[in-house]
Every structure is written in C-alpha cells, then in structure tokens.
Structure 1
Amino acid sequence: MSPGALPRAVGRRLAALATVAGLVALAGCSSVTYAETPLPTTTAPKPTSSTPAAAAAVCDNATQSYDPLPSLPNRGEITDGSMRKIITKGYITVGVSADTYLFGARNAFTGGIEGFDIDMARAVAKAIFGDPSKVQFRVITANDRIPLLKDRAVDMVARNMSMTCGRWNDIAFSAEYYRSGQKVLVGKNLPDAVNLGLADLKGKRVCAPNGTTSLAKLEQVQGPTVVTAGTHTGCLVLFQQGKADAITGDDTVLAGLAAQDPNTVVTKAKAITTEPYGLGFNKADIYLARYVNRVIADLEADGEWKRIYDRWLAGPLGPAPAPPTPVYGR
C-alpha cells in the first residue's frame, strides 16, 4: 500500500460509519414530526333536487300545494284508495271547531255547527256526493288537528289551520283558502286599547290556545305573561274571570270573540303575522288534496267563495277581499 493509500482508506471507512450512525439515530428518534401536505381546498357542491339535503329543504313556501285535478271526476271514475274508502262509507269525516264563532261554532238554537269552515267542508261533500249534508263533523281542539289526521281518525280538517313548513312535515294541505293575521283582543277599559299590540302588553296576562301558531308567536314576545287554554273560547272564559288581560289569535277568530263580548275590542295594531289557512289531510292523501284543490278553485271561479265570505264575515270584517292566490307545483 502506498503511503497515501492508508489515509484515503481510513477516510472512506470513517465516512461510511458516520452515514450508518446517522441513519440509526434518525430511526430511533421518536420526537421527529412531519408537516402534513395541505389538502386542496374544495367547495361543497350545492345540493340538487335529487340530493337528501334538497329533499329536507323542500318547503320554502308553506302555501304551495299540489296541482288541482283538471276537473272533478265522477265518483265511479275515482280509483284512489283513500277516496274510495270515503265514497264507500257514504260521507266524509271532517274535524272542525264548535266554538270558533263565524268559522265553526254551534248554533245555540238549532244545535248545528255553522260558519265559514263548515261551508267549505260542505262544499267538498257536495262535490264528492252531490249532497252537502254527506259530512260527519267531529269537534276537535286545535291541538287535536295533526294527531287525528296522522291517525286517520278524520279524513280532513277544516279548522282555521295556518299552513306552515313545519306542519307540512306531518300532514298535507290544500291550497290556501283564506288569509288571516295574528292580532290582539283586549278589554275596552285599557288605556288606548284600540291601538295596543302584543309588544305593548308588558306585564299583562295574554292567553292563546295550546298547539297554535298564535301561542308560538306569543312565547317569542318579551313582556307579556303567557296564559294558555284549550281553545280561544277557553281564553275568553279566563278573560271574563279576570285571569287574563288579553287574548291573541287570528283576527277572524278574535272578531268572533268580540261579537260575543261587547266589553272587548280587536285592536287596530298591524297584524304581527300572516296566517294562510289550508284544509288539512293525511300526508299520504295527495290525490284527495288535489281533488279538494279543484273544489276550491271552482268555488272561487263561480263566486261561491265570495258568497260564503259575505254570509259569515262581511259584517265584522267588511267587504270580501279577493280570494288568496293559489300556489301549486308541490
């Protein structure tokens, strides 16, 4: 070996040992961390009509109902299962109010139930059977409406029921057949009674029936003390007993209460909600809803809707407005 070869050999061995030592050290080091490569930023695609998210958000207009039938078929032409059951039993069972004066209330002299909603129910019976008396009225509370439809204890509900997206999750509605708004009824003895709204009733006991949108709205207003009853008439009883200072509800309902108690007044304050009324059905009864939508459209077209309004509501509420514009396409 030449004199210069030894130092070169030693150098190569030392370099090799250093490389091995470095690899061993890295392999045994547990504190080493590695930064993850950032994932590319993506934007989630907007849901289409076929995605679950879109299906969950299907209700963006609570007044949108199903397309009406092109025309009313003869009874013998109807094949829908639910309607065949109604036709077979010979009458339609309708859940109604018996204490909502002007819309559904028992006549103290005849014992019959009458009002705007009752005439709507009779119009449906007339369309199906050719006889407006082919209807069985079942008196229910506001809180009963959805459970009885879901259980099929009634075929239809005609009880001044507001259409909401939340309720569409449980039942089906007809097209809007009347539009109301939530107001307040107070005693005439309150200062500036005629102009009071819910927000003005701080510390006052305000009554609304259980299971109603009126109660839901009342509970959102800061100031009033919430009082509940089974019906609006129950609220009127509490008012007359001095257990409530005011009642809130649809202006149509309050007009009926005011007509029964001359010491009360429906305030002129602007309505705090818009309340579109729909006839209620079991969620699966789409054909029945379409059938009834044709009935409603025909009532409006031939002037019968206005005649029903004039019969019950023109006195306390003034001349008939135009019927609500239907929204179809659900």
Structure 2
Amino acid sequence: MTAQVPRTRLKGWGGVGAMATACALALLFALLLTCTGSQGRTPAKTTGESVSHAERTRAAEECTAPEKQTLPPGDADGPTIAEIKSREGEKRKLVVGVDQNSYRWGYRNPNSGEGVKLEGFDIDLVHRIAEDILGDPDAVQFKAIPTDQRIPAIKDGRVDMVVRTMTINCARIQEVAFSAPYFKTGQQVLAPKSSPVEGYDATLADQEICTAAGSTAYSTLEADRKAGRLPESADIRTTVPNQLDCLVRLQLGEVDAVVTDGALAASQAAQDPTVELKGEAFTTEYYGVAMKKDADDLVRRVNRILVDFRADTADGWQSSYTEWLSATLGEDSSRSAPPAPEYLRRS
C-alpha cells in the first residue's frame, strides 16, 4: 500500500520552527489552544440560543440596519446597574467578557510589567465604562471568552457585557442587546504574501479557508457560497474557537487563507510580516457592546458613555485609536469611525 504524501503548503514561519514559535506564543500569552488541540474541520459551534433557527431566520430577513436597533442614552440606575453596584468587597466589579489574544484590541502585553496586563482599544473602552458606573476604571473583572461563547456568556449571566470586537447583526440582536456602534470595519481576506489568492473573488476556488466558529465571517461565507458569490470549491470547513488560531493554522500551512474582520486581520498582519490583507473589505460591519436582552438601563448608560467617549478629544475614542490602532490601520481614523448614532429601539 502506498503511503499518502501530505500536501505541500505555504508556511509563513516554516516547518518545525512555526510550531515552536506558535507554542511559545501560546505559553507567553496563555491564550492559544492550538498546541493542545484546537478544533479542526468542524462546523461552526452552536451558541446555545433559545430562539429557534426558523425564528432567527425570519427575524433576520425582516431586520434592517441592526446597528440602529438600540436604546437612547440615559443616566438612570435601573435594576441591572443597581445589582452591579450592590456587589461587595472584591466582587464589586464590572464583569466583562473580552479577548486576550487580539493584538492591539484585547491582548496580554508581555512588556506591561508584573501581571502582564490586558491592553488594547477594547480594554480602554471597558475601563471607561467601569469608571462611569463604579467610579473606578480598574473595577473590572475580565473574563477571556472564545468567539463562539460570547452570546452564551451573556445569556448565562457569566458576564455583565461583552466588549470583544463583536459585530452587530440581525441574528444577534434577537439574542442580546447591543449598544450603538463604536467601530466600523468589514470582512477581509488574509493570506501569505506569496499566495495566488487576490481577495474575496474567484481566486479562492479550491482554497481552504479558516474562520472562527460563531463569527460573522463563517456565516457570510456559508451564505455567499450558497448564493454563488463564493466559489463552490472553496473549503470553509475549518473553524476554530478563537480567531487568532486561524493565523497559527495559516502559518503552519494547514489552511490557505483566513477571513475575518479587516481590523483584526490588519493586527494579525502586523504580527507576521509573511502574510497580508488581500483585496478590499467586502462587507460593512459595526462593533458594539453586547449585553443581556432586558438590561435596558445598562444599554442606555453604555450609549451615554459612548457619546462622551467619542466626544472626548483628549482621552477618548481618537486617543485610543491613535495609541493602539494607527500603526496597523493607518493614521487616518475616518474609515473606522462609527457613524452618528441612531436609536431606533423603543423597548
């Protein structure tokens, strides 16, 4: 019997060196599951929502402008905020689901000194919310959660909110409540510089594409392949719990391309100079703060905080963009700035 010869692939870091470097990063940041058995070619995980698939589909078809389906700003302390403020001692903190492996968004900086602090654009926003609600920017309990656990973590009450590059879309607003947008982005393709892939087009035919389970990238690819906008031969079976695991699989030559938010892909390209963004963004998406569906007072408060955050020219949105994202997305922040908020949800 003839032994099967493994398919040769592009490798961003090369052979054994790639695995060693990937594992070193995993240990350093305590964030990668890949070296200990991350998911492979499995369908995207379900997220434990109670709403049926048919109901979600119908609601999504009727939905327009999901980024506008939020409540007007407010300052009142309702039951959700009152419960947060009533926590005593060390538990008197805002519990927030975040990422710890997205470079410049939410990541553990090994040069931040003792404790290896979480830093990034999303982390700045979390501190701002904690300062407003609890009077202390550091009154936060960070909980690192995988991409596919963002909605379950909110619905199960494990976190008060999720601030984790989470796109507002029609399916998700059936499950959780969102703030107004705080960032604008879009899906893009990431691939090795030497790859024949040129963007989100016919060059993805016969290519193996990695996405994060439960992400908008996976659902977009799935829908586009059914609609004929993505080549039928594109293999989208590879999904992983955390988006950065896709970069490692790309570096190890296990996949040909990654599809994710352009804002995240730019940060990943900064981490590995052998890969690059291919083509332009092919969707328009907005990040929002996600909370429980009935946490109206918290949604209103976060929306008021976001108004102040955007208006604060000294220590607000622009300052955070300049510090964390200008190096990967460019000095001009206008393409990433959220639109003027609209508050169309009334109850």
Q: Aligned partner of 1:171: which letter?
A: V
Which 5+ residue runs of structure 2 have no aligned equivalent?
A: 1-57, 225-229
CA distance in 1, matches of 2:280, 2:202: 12
**Residue 221 of structure 2 corresponds to residue 218 of structure 1:** yes
Q: What is the alpha-carbon root mean square deviation over aligned residues?
A: 1.7
2:195 aligned with 1:190, yes or no? yes
Kept after mapping to 1: 8 A contact 2:184/2:284: yes
Q: Distance in 2 between matches of 1:99 and 1:258?
A: 14
- Tell which structure's C-alpha radius of gyration is larger: 1
- Contact 2:95 2:142 (C-alpha < 8 Å) held by counterparts: yes
2:65 aligned to which of 61, 65, 72? 61
| Aligned residues of 2:147 and 2:243 also touching (Cα < 8 A) | no
**Which of these residues, 330, 333, 336, is aligned with residue 320 of structure 1?**
333
Note the 1:249-264 alignment, pairs <5 A.
Answer: 249-264=260-275
1:279 aligns with 2:284: no
Local SS of the residue matching 1:184: strand
User: SS of the counterpart of 1:242?
Assistant: coil
Residue deviations 1:39-58 (CA, integer Å, cap 9, x gap): xxxxxxxxxxxxxxxx9687
Q: Retained in 1: the 8 A contact 2:291–2:299?
A: yes
Q: Do the aligned residues in 2 keep the contact of 1:106 with 1:112 (CA within 8 Å)?
A: yes
| CA–CA distance in structure 1, aligned partners of residues 207 and 251 of structure 2 | 15
Pairs within 5 Å for 1:135-284 = 135-191=140-196, 195-219=198-222, 220=224, 221-222=230-231, 223-226=233-236, 227-267=238-278, 269-284=279-294
Contact 1:198 1:224 in 2 (8 A): no
**Of 86, 92, 95, the match for 2:94:** 92
SS of 1:63's equivalent in the other structure is helix
Q: Secondary structure at the match of 1:137?
A: strand
The answer to whether 1:120 aligns with 2:132 is no
Q: Work out the CA distance in 2 between the residues paired with 1:58 and 1:155.
A: 28
Measured in 2, the distance between the counterparts of 1:247 and 1:160 equals 17
Tell me whether 279-288 or 82-91 shows the greater mean CA deviation: 82-91
- Distance in 1 (CA, whole Å) between partners of 2:298 and 2:136 is 18
Distance across 2 between alignment mates of 1:329 and 1:202: 41
Equivalent residue of 2:195, what SS? coil
CA contact (8 A) 1:123 1:132 kept: yes
Aligned length: 266
- Structure 2 CA distance for aligned equivalents of residues 217 and 290 of structure 1: 30
1:20: which partner in 2?
none
Percent of pairs with identical residues: 37
Taking a change above 3 Å as real, the CA distance of residues 58 and 286 of structure 1, as seen in their structure-2 partners, is farther
Cα distance in structure 1, aligned partners of 2:209 and 2:311: 40
2:81–2:133 CA contact under 8 A, matched in 1: no
Displacement of 1:324 in angstroms is: 2.3
Residues 68 and 293, structure 1, Cα contact 8 Å, conserved in 2: yes
Q: Which has the higher contact order (CA 8 A, sep 6+)?
A: 2
For the 8 Å contact 2:102–2:264, the answer to whether it is kept is: yes
Mapped to 2, the partners of 1:66 and 1:59 lie a distance apart of: 16
C-alpha distance in 2, partners of 1:262/1:61? 36
- TM-score, length-normalised on structure 2? 0.73
Alpha-carbon separation, structure 2, partners of 1:183 and 1:197: 7
SS at match of 2:205: coil
